[in-house]
Chains A and B, each alone.
Chain A
Amino acid sequence: MKSFVFPEFQIIRDEEKCGQCRGCERQCAFGTHTYDPVADRLISDEYKCVGCQRCVVFCPKDAIVVRPSPSYYRPNASWSREKLEDLKKQAETGGVILTGSGNDKPFCIYWDHIVLNASQVTNPSIDPLREPMELRTFLGAKPDQMDISLKDGEVKINTKLSPNIMVETPILFSAMSYGAISYNAFRSLAMAARKSGTFFNTGEGGLPKEMRNEFGKYAIAQVASGRYGIDAEYLNCAAAIEIKVGQGAKPGIGGHLPGEKVSAIVAQTRMIPQGTDAISPAPHHDIYSIEDLSMLITALKEATNYEKPISVKIAAVHNFAAIASGIVRAGADIIAIDGLRGGTGAAPKVIRDNVGIPIELAISSLDRRLRGEGIRNRCSIIAAGGVRCSSDVIKAIALGADAVYIGSAALIAMGCTLCQKCYTDKCNWGICTQDPRLSGRLNVDIASQRLSNLIAAWSHEIAEMLGGMGINALESLRGNRDHLRGVGLHEWELDVLGIKGAGE
């Protein structure tokens, strides 16, 4: 059947500049560029191009421009080109449209409607270059009070403390499984977490054995519905355990790692046959109700001798605050919430773009709910889903989160351009592919340095903004909505966020 769908991207090659080095042909795993020896020029098949910009960046002559094709349909506010073409694809195949990365639709980005405070006159701003500025924070459950006895100058702590993990900066690497991303990318995240005093999350794919000794203590080991790669050693080598109940990109449905991406090592780590599809079912089949979750949390605590905090990751959906409150009472030490803009390696487009709520509203709503019930101390909140810059991090913390997870931002640091084709196993940047020819392009030392640079730059910017607000320790910003104001928001949005409008 002939496809009626147009190419998404247009490739313009400056023939004068082009030196026929065939670099673009080698760079593109989608086979977009081919060399025609007769005409001695490069030809491009626009239908194959996904717009990842790899050839553009690596062309030694800067001869290529890849840009979105202008739409050829009559302009229609309701039937956008994307809607038309998705429909045609479905008519042609009868399949579910798959996509990668996070929601790209124009839902309101609340980060861009919140502004920050600065101190003047009544309170000095603090200069982070010269005075101490502290971003260290602890994730886990805290007791409501401490029983301390002071005798003969010696202090004794009588309260039993829950395990906590300590981060030097409130930015952690989000769950991206080995399988969804390449081994090199996965290792780069681990190295950067070690260097920057933070943690990375293993995602559903487990932690390869050879990495456990070196990187286990910087890892948050995820226990997902498919229970891939989970053995007692895996659980005990990590710093914390995370039960993945849902994620922002695809709330309510399971995960699907196509067989193409299940290479030999992926198979070994996940403990499934090579080449099979790795399906993570939608629910954990041992959690059909909240008391079952409580049982799993306790089981994991038993398996790790009560030495590690247990986190539960849920997607931010309509009544999630009540669910989260239940999860805290079920014994979770950390709640990770993933909002509407959360990324993924593969998800049905219709679910990614329509299910879930924005993380900004979610953080605020959860923080208020837990405080209202008097249980906010019992867990830390980590927020994820579309954190793009250091000001987003600060705003998340001021709204009530303890820390943030970055997923897409970390991939972009390594080279990703959000072309949304992660599920094809053809990532030209070597990030989310298992093809060794491609993943070899990602140099682990360079990629991990780039990630550390990102964290260092953001941490410094956070210190500057904190200092500007007259605060020198991160714990004094958490939930401190007094330092935020809303611009261009409705009354109800200000209410949910719990902030005043600018000028109020």
Chain B
Amino acid sequence: MKGRCLEFRIIMPRIRRELYTKDICACSIFGAMNRDGERFNGAGVMKAIANMHVRGNGLGGGFAAYGIYPEYEDYYAIHLMFTGKSLQDKLSAKKELDAFLCQRFDVVYDEEIPHGDESTVSDPPLVWRYFALPNKKGDDALLTDEDYVVSIVMWVNTRIENAYIFSSGKNMGCFKGVGYPEEIGEYFMLDRLYRAYTWTVHGRFPTNTQAWWGGAHPFSLLDTTIVHNGEISSYGTNRWYLEMYGYACTLQTDTEVIAYAADLLMRKQMLPIEIVAKILAPPIWNAIDRMNEAEKKLLTTLRMVYGPLLMNGPFAIIIGQTGKMIGLTDRIRLRPLTAATRGEMFYLSSEEASIRLISPQLDRVWTPNGGEPVVSELNSMRKVLQ
């Protein structure tokens, strides 16, 4: 991986002066999970996010859904978008990508992601999905499947022009684009074609008028997806640290660093979410100094070692993973997040009203403290029943 890290450095012209344009966005987020693993369609969450319509400005929306490809559950479902001014650009990008991908993966099935009328959205790219297994050759055989897929994603996103992998997990997928989230949901027919046990949604209000389809949330890597409300003022520092570990921050949005930090800490370093939350949103030193010896030592060590991954600035995020949904806000709770439960359903939302819209009765409603994660897991972690 380290070797690849250096290669990226040469290719990306912006790196010479480390120039990047950071999109800032204010938004709405929503998540719904059925802890029994029962799958439901996207209609409810589309309605919920539409209720928070005013928090967005129509320049981005997206969904992550878990458990949607049970027939292909052992294959990586790679979602690609091919951008470019003309259809020709998109097709030539696809051609290049196809050639590249087929050498490195065994693709069992691929197709255009079904969608509605293109005139309902602005300038849509060509969106395709591939169900594939890694075909590791040479030195790559030493990598785990997951590291291999990550390296392919980084490669494609930095080297193949007009091609972006925006979803790369198993039995899950992201759907996103430029438009209000409910419009994107309609476009990809999420209420009709898919049933998932976890949905997370995002509606965007970017302050950069040049919105592009890849810039919408969720951001994902393998099966980790992030939807994010807020702005990360420590983006430069977080990015600087993650690039050393081989993550190329190409998608021009600060949310990317959260996705990569989650991948690094949770998947590669296998740290539990309680610890990861304390890295991303640690308590204040005054509070740490007053804790008992063991806690103080742990938190001091975490802040000392992982200081560059502290996410500063206001944020509320929902992290989706296979079998889990996690909500987290920044350490002084500058962004809202409401959590609620009703039977086996678990909800997270920027505003309570959206939850009430789809579930008028709730067992418990609360706003978690800043820096404290709210974790919802499948009751078993068994395979989802069809």
Contacts and interface: CB of A to CB of B under 8 A. Distances in A.
Contacts of A500: 17, 19
A132 B334 contact: no
Contact of A124 (B22, B25, B243, B334): B334
A16 interface: no
Given A470-B233, A500-B17, A480 B305 contact: no
Contact of B305 (A143, A483, A495): A143
A146 B302 contact: yes
A256 interface: no
B314 interface: yes
A400 to B, nearest CB: 8
Contacts of B272: 148, 150
A480 B236 contact: yes
Interface string A483-499: 10000000000110011
Interface string B230-246: 11011111001101110
Question: Looking at chain A, what size class is its interface with the partner chain?
Answer: 35 or more
B69 to A, nearest CB: 32
Contacts of B294: 154-155
A164 B5 contact: no
B359 interface: no
Contact of A372 (B6, B17, B304, B314): B6
Contacts of A477: 234, 237
22 contacts: A122-B25, A122-B26, A123-B24, A123-B231, A123-B313, A132-B284, A132-B285, A145-B269, A148-B272, A148-B275, A157-B298, A157-B301, A376-B244, A469-B233, A470-B233, A473-B310, A475-B307, A476-B234, A477-B237, A479-B241, A482-B236, A504-B19
B2 interface: yes
Contacts of B179: none
A371 interface: yes
Contacts of A473: 307, 310, 312
Interface string A377-410: 1000000000000000000001000000000000
A124 B314 CA distance: 8
A37 B350 CA distance: 87
B356 interface: no
Interface string A121-137: 01110000001101011
Interface string B287-319: 000000010011001111111101111100000
Nearest to B284: A132
Interface of B: 2, 5-6, 9, 16-20, 22, 24-26, 207, 230-231, 233-237, 240-241, 243-245, 268-269, 271-272, 274-275, 284-286, 294, 297-298, 301-308, 310-314, 331-332, 334
Given A145-B269, A473-B312, A476-B310, 10 more contacts: A124-B314, A132-B284, A134-B284, A136-B285, A142-B304, A161-B305, A470-B313, A475-B307, A475-B310, A483-B236
A70 interface: no
B201 to A, nearest CB: 21
Contacts of B20: 482
A374 B240 CA distance: 10
A500 B5 CA distance: 23
Contacts of A471: 233-234, 312-313
A480 B237 contact: yes
B271 A146 contact: yes
Interface of A: 119, 122-124, 131-132, 134, 136-138, 142-143, 145-148, 150, 154-155, 157, 161, 164, 368, 371-372, 374, 376-377, 398, 469-473, 475-483, 494-495, 498-500, 504
A495 B306 CA distance: 28
A480 B234 contact: yes
Contacts of B284: 132, 134
Nearest to B334: A124
Contacts of A374: 2, 5, 244-245
A20 B11 CA distance: 75
Nearest to A145: B269
A452 B293 CA distance: 30
Contact of A142 (B236, B275, B305, B332): B305
B320 to A, nearest CB: 22
Contacts of A154: 294
Task: Identify the interface centre among B6, B240, B243, B268: most chain A CB within 10 Å of its CB.
Answer: B240
A494 B305 CA distance: 30
B372 to A, nearest CB: 16
B18 A476 contact: no
A2 B22 CA distance: 68
Contacts of A481: 18, 236
A377 B308 CA distance: 10
B302 A479 contact: no
Contacts of A132: 284-286, 332
Given A123-B313, A146-B301, A476 B237 contact: yes
Given A122-B24, A132-B286, A498-B18, A161 B233 contact: no
Contacts of B236: 398, 479-483
B264 to A, nearest CB: 8
Contact of A150 (B17, B22, B230, B274): B274
A472 B331 CA distance: 10
Nearest to A495: B17
B313 A480 contact: no
B287 to A, nearest CB: 9
Find the residue from A398, A469, A472, A482 having the highest chain B CB count within 10 A: A482
A371 B312 contact: no
B304 A123 contact: no
A138 to B, nearest CB: 4
Contacts of B274: 150
A482 to B, nearest CB: 4
A500 B22 CA distance: 13
Contacts of B275: 148, 150, 155
B332 A472 contact: yes
A500 B331 CA distance: 30
A164 B301 CA distance: 10
B312 A470 contact: yes
A479 B245 CA distance: 16
B303 A475 contact: yes
Given A470-B231, A470-B313, A131 B332 contact: yes
A314 to B, nearest CB: 22
